[in-house]
Amino acid sequence: MKKITKKIAAFAFAAILLTAGSSYAQQKGEPFEDIDQSWQNGSDRRDSSVFKNMKFFTPSILVDVNYTHSFNRPNDNTVVGSTALARNNEVELSALHFGGDFNYGNARARVMTQFGTRSIVVPRNDYSPYRGQYQLANVYRYLSEAYIGYHFKKWYGINIDAGMFMSYIGLNSYYQPENWEYQASFTSDNTPWFFNGLRIQIHPTKHLKIEPWIINGWQSYGKFNKMPGIGANITWMPNSNLKLLTNDYYGTDAAGIPSRKRFHSDNSFLYRYYNNPKSRGISRAAFSLTADIGFEKGGGVNGFKNSDSTKPAQYFLSAMFYNRIWFFKNKLAWTFGGGWMKNPGRYLVLYPTGQASPLPNHNNPTQTEGAFPFSANPGDQFEGWDCSTNFDIMPNQSLTFRVEYVHRHSSVPYFAGKGGVTSQTGYSTSQLDPAWRPDLVKSEDRVILALLFRL
Reported as a single tens digit per residue, the pLDDT across 190-212 is 999 999 999 999 999 999 999 99
Contact 178, 186 (CB under 8 A): no
pLDDT tens sequence across 384-426: 999 999 999 999 999 999 999 999 999 999 999 999 988 889 8
Weakest-pLDDT range from 25-29, 125-129, 360-364: 360-364
User: How high is the pLDDT of residue 15?
Assistant: 47
**pLDDT value at 18 more than 50:** no
User: How high is the pLDDT of residue 22?
Assistant: 44
Exposed/middle/buried for residue 174 (C-beta within 10 Å: 0-12, 13-18, 19+):
buried
Each as own residue / partner, the long-range contacts of residues 215-219 (CB below 8 Å, 24 or more positions apart, any chain) are 215/251, 216/128, 217/128, 217/251, 217/252, 217/253, 218/192, 218/249, 218/251, 218/253, 218/262, 218/264, 219/125, 219/126, 219/167, 219/191, 219/192, 219/193, 219/194, 219/195
pTM (whole model) above 0.75: yes
User: How high is the pLDDT of residue 387?
Assistant: 97
**pLDDT value at 66 more than 80:** yes
Which domains does the chain show, CATH number per domain? 2-454 (2.40.160.10)
pLDDT tens sequence across 302-358: 989 887 777 899 999 999 999 999 999 999 999 999 999 999 999 999 988 654 444
Return the percent helix, strand and coil in the chain, to nearest 5.
10, 45, 45
Mean pLDDT (the chain) is 89
Q: How far apart are CA 254 and CA 127, in angstroms?
A: 10
pLDDT tens sequence across 225-263: 999 999 999 999 999 999 999 999 999 998 889 999 999
pLDDT tens sequence across 142-201: 999 999 999 999 999 999 999 999 998 999 999 999 999 999 999 999 999 999 999 999
**pLDDT exceeding 90 applies to what percent of the chain?**
70
Contact 322, 181 (CB under 8 A): yes
Weakest-pLDDT range from 5-19, 170-184, 208-222, 439-453: 5-19
User: How high is the pLDDT of residue 179?
Assistant: 96
Contact 20, 160 (CB under 8 A): no
Our CA angle for 418, 189, 305, nearest 5°, is: 100
Measure CA of the first residue to CA of the last residue in the chain; give whole Å.
44
